[in-house]
Amino acid sequence: MKAVLAAAVACASVAAPGAARADALLELAAHGAPRPASQLAESACEVDVEIRGGLATVELRQHLANLGDAPVAAGYELAIGEGATLVGATLRDGAGPEGVAIGVPAGFSTTVVHDGGVLGADPLLVQAIDLTAEGRPRFRATLQAIGVGHAVVLTTRWAVPVTIEGGALHLAVPGRAAEGQLTTCRGTIRAAGGPGASVARVRVGRSAGTGGAATFTLGDEDVAIDAELAFHGTEPLVWTQREDLGAGWASELVTVLAPPARALAPAARRAMFVIDGSRSMDMVGAAAIAKVVDAAAAALSPGTELDAVVYDRTAARVLGDWEPAERAVSRLTAALAKRGASNGSDLAGALRVARAALGEGTTPPASIIIITDGVLGKVPDRALVDALAATPGALPGSIDVHAIVLDPGPTRSPGKALLAGPVETYGGSYVELAVADLDAALPGAAAWVGPAWVDVKRTGAPAVSRGELPGLLRAGAGGTVLYLTHGAAPAIFIGARREAVTSNTAARVAPLGAGSGLGALAMASFAFDDFDRAAGTPAGPAVYQRAFAAHPYADASFALVVLAPGGKVAADRRAMIVGGGPYARIVSAEDPAWAPPVEHRRAAGPPPSAIERITVERLVRDQLQPAAYVCYEHALGTAPKLAGLVAFDIDLGRGEVTRVELAGLGNAAFDACLVDAAYRMTPPVPDLRVNADDQTVVHYPLTFGLADRHPAVVLGDADSGSPLDIDAIQGGVPIPADRTDPIRVDTDTPLGSLKPR
C-alpha cells in the first residue's frame, strides 16, 4: 500500500486576526476512517518560542496518553505560521529514548512488519497535507499504536523569519482548538536582538513584561508576540545569521531594520499636509482621511506647527497660517468636512503651493505629508520632484516628504512610482494602507511621518535570494531576506540621504551565529537550480542531497519520519536512509484511508481594466459634446470664423476625471471652456469587487464648424481611422477579441441646425 502524501499547492486568502483554528486529534483504526479522539487525550502541552535576531523558531510538545482499554494509533493535524517551514519532529515513548525524524522523499512504499526482531515499526510520520483557509501550511503526524496506559511526547518544530513593525520583532503563533481532547498550551518566549539593539520588553497581545522573556497561554486564538527593541544608536542595523550547509555552501538570513521614530531625537518643525480632495477620494471616505490626519499629527514631535493644502485640479491652503497641532487639526478636519469633492488631481501644483508656503531655506526643518489614493493620471516623471525645488535645479536639504496612500479596496496605488520620486529625492517615507484595515494600522502612525533611509543594497559574492531588501527603509520598519551563498557572504550597504547627498556606508555587523532551523529553512526555500546558480557551475544533486540529509524539513516533496529504534538492523537501516538509500516505511498496522485534502484556494482579486469603450462613448456623446456646443456658441460671438479640430487627452481614474489636456484652436476663452467641460464629466465609480482599478487615458478629437450658418460639433475626426482611442494606464481595454471595428462617424451629414441633446 502506498502512503498518501498530499501536495500543498493551493493559495489561500489572508487570515483574519484572531481566527479560530481547527487542529484535530484523531484515533486511527486499520481499514477504517479516522475518528475524533475519545480514548486518546492530550494530557499536557508546552510551546517554546525563541526569537533570535531575524529568525523565530517555535517548538510544540504534546503529551498524548491512551486512557482506553485497547492499543490505538493517533493522528494529529496542525497548522504552522504563514511562510514557515516545519524543520523537525521527535517522538519519545514513555521513558525510552527520543527518536529524531529524518527527511525522506515523497513516493515511498509502506510494508507491514512481520518480524519485529529484525525490523521494528516506524513510530512517526509527518507529512504536508494542504494549506488552511488562512494560507498557513498544514501537516499531519501519524503515530503507530500507543499501548494501554502508555503516553508519548510528540514534538514538532517550525521556523520562520520575523517581521519588523514599529521597532519590534513580530511573530504570530497560530492558535489551536482548546476543546475536546486538546488542552490549552503553556508557552514561554525568549527573545534576543543583535549588535546595536537589545530587547527592552516582550509584548504578548496587550500584556507586556520587561526584558527578553515572557510567558503566555495558547488556546484557539492566535497569539501576537512583539519583542520591542532598544536601539543603541540612531542609524539602521543589519544583522546576519549564517549556517553552514557543507561543501562550501551556506545559508544566510539578513535582517535590515531601522530605529523607530520615538528613538530618534525629533526637532520642533513645521508640517504641511497636502490632501487629495478630488472625486476619487470619495471611495476612501472622509472618515478615513480624518483618522489619518489625526494619527499623523499626533505622531509629530511636540511643538510642530501645521497647515494644509487641499487640491483637485487647483490647490489652496486651508488655514493660511501656521498653528500648533492641537488647534490646527480640529480646524483642518472641519474644513475638509465642508468641502465637496470635484474632478482633477494636480498634485504637482499642490506641492508648489506647499513649497511656497514653507518659504525658501525653511527653518526649522519641515515635513510635507501627502495623503492621497495614488490616482494621479499621467504626470511627467520628475514633475513632483521639481515642484518641491527651492529654485529650479536646486534641491532643498530642509524638507522631507511622507506619502500616505489609502487604498479603498483590493487596489494598489497606480501612482506609487511617481510618489516615490520626491520621497527618495528629499528623504521621508512611503506607506500604503488598506482602508479596511486602517484602524489596526493607526498605532503605527509614527513610522508614517518618521525619517527613512534609501538605497539598501547587497554587494559581494553572487548569491540566490528569497525575498528582497527594502528599497525604502522607514523608521521602525525593516525586512528579512534569505541568501544561498557559495563562498564569501554578501555585504550590505545602506544609503542615508542628508542635505540631498547620498552617502553609502557599510552597515554590516558581526554575525549573530547560526540559528536553529536556518539551514532547514534554506533547504526548503532553494532547489537544485539555485545551488547551480549560486556556484556559477553545476553543483549536482549529491551536494543538495548531503545538505538535505543534514537539514531535513517537511513539505509537499519531503516527509519527516522517525525510524524504528528496535530490531537487529535499526542502526544500519538509519545510516543507509540518511545516506540517500531507498526508504520503505515499516508499520505494525496499515494506515487508514485518509480523505483527500481540501484545497483552500485564494479568491482571485478583480482584474484591473480600462473603462469600457461604450462607457467612454456615452460620456463624450451625452456630457462632453453638449457642453462643447455651448462653448462654441459663446465663442462665435467674438470669433465668428472660429473652426477646426481640437484633440482631448483625458485621464480617468476611480470615477474621476483626473487630468485634461487640450490641443485647441488658440482661442484662450474657448479652449478654457472646453477644458472645464471635460472636467465636469462624471465617469462611473468602479465596483471594486469586479474591477480592481480603471486607470484610463482617452484620446478624443472634436471638429467644430458651421453647417447652414449654424454651429456644428462633429464627434470624431473625418480623417481618423479610429476617432476614439482608449489607452489603459493599468490593465487592458475590455473589448471582445473579435471586435476590431473602429467607431464610424458619418461626416457627410453633420449636425446642421440640430443641437446635440
Give per-residue pLDDT as tens, 459-471.
666 689 998 887 7
pLDDT at 403 over 70: yes
pLDDT at 281 over 90: yes
Number of Cβ within 10 Å of residue 641's Cβ equals: 6
CA gap 463, 465 in Å, rounded: 6
Closest CA to 346 of 423, 415, 266: 415
The predicted model gives 542-548 an average pLDDT of: 89
Query: What does the pLDDT look like over 440-449, one tens digit per residue?
Result: 889 888 888 8
Place of cell 526637532: 267
Query: What does the pLDDT look like over 205-235, one tens digit per residue?
Result: 878 778 899 999 998 889 999 999 999 888 8
pLDDT at 183 over 60: yes
Closest CA to 315 of 287, 284, 345, 288: 345
Full DSSP string of 253-312: EEEEE---GGGS-----EEEEEEE-BGGGGGT-HHHHHHHHHHHHHHSPTT-EEEEEEES
What is the four-CA torsion angle of 716, 722, 725, 726, rounded to 10 degrees?
120
Grid cell for residue 591: 494506515
Query: What does the pLDDT look like over 232-248, one tens digit per residue?
Result: 888 888 888 889 998 88
Planar angle of CA 313, 318, 324, nearest 5 degrees: 145
Q: Decide if 452 contacts 429 (C-beta within 8 A).
A: yes
Residue type present at position 402: H
pLDDT on residue 95: 67
Q: Which band of pLDDT confidence, cut at 50, 70 and 90, is reported for residue 539? A: confident
Query: What does the pLDDT look like over 295-341, one tens digit per residue?
Result: 999 988 888 899 999 999 999 999 988 999 888 998 998 888 888 88
Place of cell 525510524: 563
Q: Decide if 402 contacts 367 (C-beta within 8 A).
A: yes
- CB-count burial class (<10 Å; 0-12, 13-18, 19+) for 614: exposed
Query: What does the pLDDT look like over 42-100, one tens digit per residue?
Result: 999 999 999 999 999 999 999 999 998 888 888 898 999 888 999 999 999 876 788 99
Query: What does the pLDDT look like over 638-654, one tens digit per residue?
Result: 999 899 999 999 999 88
CA gap 682, 433 in Å, rounded: 27
Is the previous residue joined to 364 through a cis bond, with omega within 30 degrees of 0?
yes
Planar angle of CA 478, 480, 485, nearest 5 degrees: 145
Gyration radius of the chain over CA positions: 32
pLDDT at 177 over 60: yes
DSSP state of 441: H
Partnered with residue 55 across adjacent β-strands are 52, 161
319 contact partners, CB below 8 Å, separation of at least 6: 306, 307, 308, 328, 331, 332, 335
Query: What does the pLDDT look like over 354-368, one tens digit per residue?
Result: 988 887 545 567 889
Place of cell 528629499: 426
The predicted model gives 490-501 an average pLDDT of: 53
Residue type present at position 591: D
**Range ranked top by mean pLDDT from 458-472, 597-611, 715-729:** 458-472
Element (H, E) at 559: strand 558-562
pLDDT at 603 over 80: no
pLDDT at 713 over 80: no
Place of cell 487508514: 592
The 3-state DSSP class for residue 693 equals coil
Query: What does the pLDDT look like over 726-745, one tens digit per residue?
Result: 665 544 333 333 433 333 33
- Give the pTM: 0.72
The predicted model gives 117-127 an average pLDDT of: 89
Residue type present at position 315: A
Question: Mean pLDDT lowest for which of 242-246, 274-278, 408-412?
Answer: 408-412
Residue 511 vs residue 480, higher pLDDT: 480
Query: What does the pLDDT look like over 613-626, one tens digit per residue?
Result: 888 889 999 999 99
Polymer length in residues for the chain:
757
The 3-state DSSP class for residue 638 equals coil
Q: Which band of pLDDT confidence, cut at 50, 70 and 90, is reported for residue 261? A: confident
Q: Which band of pLDDT confidence, cut at 50, 70 and 90, is reported for residue 504? A: very low
Grid cell for residue 554: 517537511
Place of cell 469600457: 612
What percent of the chain has pLDDT above 90?
A: 39
What percent of the chain has pLDDT above 70?
A: 80
Closest CA to 522 of 491, 550, 541: 550
Partnered with residue 434 across adjacent β-strands are 407
Number of Cβ within 10 Å of residue 278's Cβ equals: 29
State how beta strands 463-466 and 696-707 pair: unpaired
Burial letters for 110-119: b for 16+ Cβ neighbours within 10 Å, e otherwise? beebeeeeeb
Q: Decide if 370 contacts 349 (C-beta within 8 A).
A: no
Question: Mean pLDDT lowest for which of 113-117, 470-474, 594-598, 654-658?
Answer: 594-598
Query: What does the pLDDT look like over 641-694, one tens digit per residue?
Result: 899 999 999 999 889 999 999 999 999 999 999 999 999 999 988 877 777 677
pLDDT at 717 over 80: no
Q: Decide if 715 contacts 625 (C-beta within 8 A).
A: yes
The 3-state DSSP class for residue 623 equals helix
